[in-house]
Amino acid sequence: MSATLSHEPNKLPAGILALAVHGAFFFLLYFGFSWQSMQPAAMHVDLWQSLPDEVVVQPPVEPKVVESVKPAQAEKTIPPDIALPDKKKPAEQAETRPDKKKVDVKPVMQKPVEQKPVEKIIAPPVQDQQADREKAEKAEKAAEIGRIVDEYKAKITAKIRRNIVLLPDVAKDARAEFLVTLLPGGSVLKAELKKSSGNPSYDNAVERAILKSDPLPLPADVALFNRFRELDLVFKPTE
């Protein structure tokens, strides 16, 4: 019985050693697996001065692999409640409509406007302007004198006709022409027959009428007397 008791104390260190060996074995397996699955993480080994009383070996924890979720798969499109119009309908309506004649409107090309060179207006010299002004004034004055002369000749002829005494045997187409010479103031100096009417009685009647009409009307402007000094007058019984 004493021999048995002497050998029992050696069983405890042997058991502890066996546990330590198994713990080291599991430790190597654990870190070996972790080294292969979690590279390049560094291996950390704790050095113990003495073996622990009890070594609890935990099973290796496998790392969780998080799968990336695609946004197309994660978000599901929810169909809207509002019904969209059918896009095919406008096309069908376009086919059913009657074809209209297409009028091709071509743009009208306007011809460029030709710009004519601007002619330079050169003002005439002052002397030329004055000469033109004088000519215009003379022409206006001559026209005014001609109007006055025609007016008073008509007055003289009318006064003489009122004094003509017509005879019954005078032809209607008779024509007597006289040259009447006047003095200043309208006095008749003489009445000369230039062309007879073919009827002496009519010629004498006209001559008596000229002398009877003395003095004949003249314009007040004395400068115009030269236009009335000698008058060529024509008389007809029908006038």
**Could you say which of 42, 61, 80 is where a domain stops?**
61
Report the alpha-carbon distance of residue 197 to residue 201 in Å, rounded.
Answer: 9
Q: pLDDT value at position 19?
A: 82
Q: pLDDT value at position 22?
A: 78
Residue 69 within a domain: no
The DSSP 8-state label assigned to residue 38 in this structure reads S
**Could you say which of 61, 79, 104 is where a domain stops?**
61
Q: pLDDT value at position 5?
A: 42
Q: pLDDT value at position 167?
A: 83
Backbone angles phi, psi at 44, to 5 degrees: -115, 120
Q: How many domains does the chain have?
A: 2
From edge to edge, which strands make up the β-sheet containing 230-235? 188-195, 176-182, 230-235
Residue 147 within a domain: yes
Backbone angles phi, psi at 81, to 5 degrees: -75, -25
Residue 209 within a domain: yes
Per-position b or e across 58-69, b if 16+ CB within 10 A of its CB: eeeeeeeeeeee
Report the alpha-carbon distance of residue 157 to residue 206 in Å, rounded.
Answer: 11
CA atoms within 13 A on the CB side of 96: 6
Q: What is the pLDDT along the chain (239 residues), one digit of tens a residue?
A: 444 444 455 667 777 888 888 788 777 777 665 655 555 545 555 555 555 555 555 655 565 554 544 444 444 555 555 555 555 454 455 455 555 555 555 555 666 666 666 666 665 677 788 888 888 998 998 999 999 999 999 999 999 999 999 888 888 899 999 999 999 999 999 999 999 999 999 999 999 999 999 999 999 999 999 999 999 999 999 88
- Same domain for 231 and 148, yes or no, is yes
Residue 41 within a domain: yes
Return the residue matching tokens 């032809």: 171
CATH code for the domain of 147: 3.30.1150.10
Residue 52 within a domain: yes
Report the alpha-carbon distance of residue 108 to residue 165 in Å, rounded.
Answer: 84
Report the alpha-carbon distance of residue 129 to residue 107 in Å, rounded.
Answer: 53
Residue 114 within a domain: no
Contacts (Cβ under 8 Å, ≥6 apart) of 191: 178, 179, 180, 181, 207, 210, 211
Q: pLDDT value at position 69?
A: 46
Q: Rounded to whole angstroms, what are the CA distances from 109 to 102, 106, 112, 113?
A: 21, 9, 9, 12
| Nearest of 232, 239, 167, 140 to residue 193 by alpha carbon | 232
Return the residue matching tokens 């743009």: 107
First CA to last CA across the chain, in angstroms?
204
Q: pLDDT value at position 93?
A: 52
Residue 44 within a domain: yes
Is pTM, for the whole model, over 0.75? no
Q: pLDDT value at position 216?
A: 96
Residue 90 within a domain: no
Structural domain boundaries, residue 30: 9-61
Q: pLDDT value at position 188?
A: 96
